[in-house]
Amino acid sequence: MSILDRSIVVSFEVNGKPVELITAPNRTLVEVLREDLGLTGVKQGCDDSNCGVCTVIMDGKAVKSCCVLIGQAEGTKITTIEGLEGENGLHPIQQAFIDHFAIQCGYCTPGMILSAKALLDENPNATEEDIREALHGNICRCTGYKKIVEAIEAARDEINAQA
């Protein structure tokens, strides 16, 4: 029996809720989030960390969940796009993407929004250059990123005004 034939128990938090599951150690976080937990806002794209559509926030950092083996999630706190909406509705970044027409086909949008959230949580005064750098690993094939950057700048300003 190979190690890949064995199961592991993994405990972590997703969108504020504890999760414990038994799974194969060679599965990726994106597979578990989508297939086992039904969080299909996490998209599956290239499976080699190039496109960023699978981006989630893990312990405050934007990570590409296609390259995280499920065992690496042990003890972490994960936020997916489904976990951003608060008691008062959409997160300011989500609303800004709508208001600034930053969504086209929508496939890359969850990863873009989560990358932006991780950036603004770490750097609330992020410049346009900071935003573009934070989005470096997120590919959008529909736009030139102008509307996306404008939406994140607007969200930054809204979040700072609320603080």
Which segments within the chain are labelled E, that is strand? 8-14, 17-23, 55-58, 61-64, 77-79
Say which residues have a Cβ less than 8 Å from residue 157's Cβ, sequence separation at least 6: none
Closest CA to 109 of 128, 96, 125: 96
Residue 110 has pLDDT above 60, yes or no: yes
pLDDT digits (tens, 9 = 90+) for 15-64: 999 999 999 999 999 999 999 999 999 999 999 999 999 999 999 999 99
Which neighbouring-strand residues pair with 12?
19
**Domains, in order of start, for the chain:** 2-83 (3.10.20.30), 92-162 (1.10.150.120)
- What's the pLDDT band for 143 if we cut at 50, 70, 90? confident
